[in-house]
Amino acid sequence: LIWIEGQLPSEHVLLVNLLRESAATSAEATKFDNAVERYQQLAQTYSERITKESNRLDLYEGRSQALIAQADMYQRTGNLQSAQNAYLAACEDIRIAETLQTADAYLLEQEIHTQTQLALLQYQTTEADSAIEKIDGSIQQLRQLISTHGAT
């Protein structure tokens, strides 16, 4: 279930929706390993499209959401290093999306959430000083976001 060469845009949308629903269903059934695999396939599907259309904001947003969900599942399985790697990859996609378009409140909120989750993981994996710096930065970003866009 990955991107197929020559696939029509409507087929890509269908595949993305199927993978997202399959992953969410697996997570709800506490089949976290299966959910991790589906979110990986979803991220890979977006990656295949990004190689062909690297200027599309929606593809980076979609991949970052898949990576965040995958990181959440990794945390539930206790695989903290993989969770940290997925959060880092999601942060990179969010940064790229911000360069493609002026960052809106949603993207900024996603970045803050992802940075906070990454900091909490670092704290759990004995990187306490780095984690505290990231959390302080997230708090400052959140305060700025609220003052600029209001509370969500």
| Cα–Cα dist 119/121, whole Å | 5
pLDDT in tens, 112-131: 788 788 878 877 777 777 77
CB 48 within 8 A of CB 6: no
pLDDT value, residue 55: 81
| Cα–Cα dist 14/26, whole Å | 18
pLDDT value, residue 71: 95
pLDDT range class, residue 4, cuts 50, 70, 90: very low
pLDDT range class, residue 149, cuts 50, 70, 90: low
Assess whether pLDDT exceeds 60 at residue 53.
Answer: yes
pLDDT in tens, 67-78: 999 999 999 999
Q: Over range 70-98, report the average pLDDT.
A: 92
DSSP per-residue letters across 55-123: T-HHHHHHHHHHHHHHHHHHHHHT-HHHHHHHHHHHHHHHHHHHHHS---HHHHHHHHHHHHHHHHHHH
